[in-house]
DNA sequence: TCTACTCACGAACACTGTTCGGGTCAACTG
DNA sequence: CAGTTGACCCGAACAGTGTTCGTGAGTAGA
């Protein structure tokens, strides 16, 4: 409601600026994607609506379907665009662990920048070309590090899955903050949740992305050992 | 469409059976949950609609909101119900690894039985009482196995996150089968995807839940080492 | 018997993704 | 320069979603 009117308002202002000279710029997939990303960045994945994107482009929803088959395809395009932003380093056998962790962190930050978009990443087919570029790069790093192919491939799979799940959850945690969470844990009945209560501070510990790096590290450490 | 009419048809048949003697059974949260679970099991999470649940209970959507605040709350209740189905064994220090893996497998199977419901698990707050019962149990197992508290807690977090992500993906993979996936991988340009192509069979390998057990195993093995 | 109160629900609202059909405009062709 | 072609565009509508409001029916208590 108040959003739609605001979009229209912005559209009017934009039109007022350069309506007389330039004819309306044609809609392209690129413009759709950048508009959608801006929308998600500003208001989260739930706000990503065909209508909202169309409104931001000063048009109706139907116009989008000339360039994009589905909303699902739009989602795919979005995570593809995000994947293009992560840089995959050339394999350095001595530092394969850090390199992989760095790529995962990049992907995580991309997902976190656009809250909730990781849901689309989970739904997207893993055959997306841009994500395959990442897995190819990480595979190269792991192979250079001496990890056997199958283990490498499966570990990549698990790591990327974890990145998505982690970012999905992180995007929701904005709502209920840590203190609230801790308070609820402390209300648990001691007879049924003895261990949880005893180590509640440990459970709740972890600044920033400590848990993230711990989990990915766990996955990677298992590779060197075997 | 055809579904709605079929629901009504089923409702009519049911009504025809015991309409005269028994007055309509009152709606309870329990009935809502079991109905919803049956729906998800039969047709997947996307089919889980307030209207569909209401229709199966021979009533309108509005009636549900007397017992359930949201659809989100309904989702929560569902994953709570699923969590109750997993049995957490008493800690056996010698077998902590198998025990944890077994619990994870149970949860995985619960999620897979109701396709797509893992999405709700990812969205649900981790403070759900029934899931906390599981984490408490697993925490007990890990502590008994000699794993330091913080590592144990974080590993549980990572494992459950992975279980959800894995099952979400598995639920979608029913659509595009493995052969198709492999064929697409083989179409990749060899100059850009050399490693992916070279080990495409390894990547695609893995019967059943091999990848699942590999990933969880990786997480657990890292715990005993440090 | 009359009232009070909980529960149930039909109808509606605001929103979603998606399709259809006609429309508008630019650029080729004769 | 006039005419036609064709790509692009988009208003309107459809079917479906979650959710709320106000009314109704039915049971339990006075």
| Residue B193 DSSP one-character state | -
Q: Between A204 and A41, whose confidence is greater?
A: A41
pLDDT (mean) for B19-25: 46
**CB-strand contact A1/C, under 7 Å:** yes
Buried b (16+ CB within 10 A) or exposed e, A176-204: eeeeebeeebeebeeeebebbbebbebbe
Residue B130 is classified by DSSP as: H
Q: Report the C-alpha gap between B66 and A124 in whole angstroms.
A: 36
B38: its two tokens: 């049956």
d(CA A78, CA A119): 11
Contacts of B150 in chain A (CB under 8 A): 199, 202-203, 205
Per-residue pLDDT for A5 more than 70? no
- Positions 54-73 in A, CB within 7 angstroms of strand C: 61-62, 65, 70-72
Stretch A98-108: mean pLDDT, rounded? 98
Helix (H, G, I), strand (E, B) or coil at A119: helix
> What is the pLDDT averaged over residues B112-128?
92
CB atoms within 10 A of CB A36: 28
Looking at residue A77, its pLDDT comes to 96
- Give the mean pLDDT of B43-56: 96
Q: What is the pLDDT of residue A219?
A: 97
Q: How far apart are CA A48 and CA B193, in angstroms?
A: 33
pLDDT confidence of residue A14: 52
Per residue in B65-107, pLDDT (tens digit) is 999 999 999 999 999 999 999 999 999 999 999 999 999 999 9
> In this structure, what token pair is assigned to residue B194?
């050399």
**pLDDT band, very low/low/confident/very high, at B226 (cuts 50, 70, 90):** low
Q: Where residue A21 falls among pLDDT bands split at 50, 70, 90?
A: very low
- What integer is the mean pLDDT of A135-160? 97
Contacts of B155 in chain A (CB under 8 A): 215, 218
Look at residue B15 and tell me whether its pLDDT is greater than 90.
no
Mean pLDDT value of segment B203-212: 88
Nucleic strand C under 7 Å from the C-beta of A5 = no
Element (H, E) at A204: helix A200-204
User: A151, A215, A223: best mutation site toward chain B, by most B Cβ within 10 Å?
Assistant: A215
Tell me if A118 sits within 8 A of A111, measured CB to CB. yes
Q: What is the pTM of this model?
A: 0.89
CB A107, CB A86: distance < 8 Å = yes
Q: Give tens-digit pLDDT for B121-151.
A: 999 877 789 999 999 999 999 999 999 999 9
Please list, in sequence order, all residues whose beta carbon lies within 8 angstroms of the beta carbon of residue B224, skipping any fewer than 6 positions away. B97, B145, B146, B147
């Amino acid at each position: 409601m108040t959003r739609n009117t605001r979009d229209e308002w912005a559209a009017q202002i934009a039109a007022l600026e350069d309506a007389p000279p330039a004819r309306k710029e044609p809609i392209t997939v690129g413009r759709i994607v950048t508009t959608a990303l801006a929308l998600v960045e500003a208001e989260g994945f739930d706000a990503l609506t065909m209508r909202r994107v169309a409104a931001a482009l000063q048009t109706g929803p139907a116009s989008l379907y000339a360039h994009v088959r589905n909303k699902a395809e739009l989602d795919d395009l979005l995570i593809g665009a995000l994947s293009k932003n992560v840089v995959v380093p050339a394999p350095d056998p001595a530092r394969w662990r850090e390199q992989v962790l760095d790529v995962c962190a990049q992907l995580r930050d991309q997902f976190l920048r656009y809250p909730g978009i990781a849901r689309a990443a989970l739904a997207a087919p893993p055959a997306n070309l841009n994500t395959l570029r990442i897995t190819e790069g990480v595979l190269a790093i792991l192979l250079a590090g001496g990890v056997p192919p199958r283990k490498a491939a499966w570990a990549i799979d698990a790591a990327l899955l974890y990145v998505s799940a982690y970012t999905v959850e992180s995007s929701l945690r904005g709502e209920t903050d840590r203190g609230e969470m801790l308070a609820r844990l402390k209300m648990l009945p001691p007879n049924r949740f003895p261990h949880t209560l005893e180590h509640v501070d440990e459970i709740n510990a972890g600044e920033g992305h400590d848990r993230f790096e711990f989990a990915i590290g766990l996955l990677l450490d298992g590779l060197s050992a075997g």
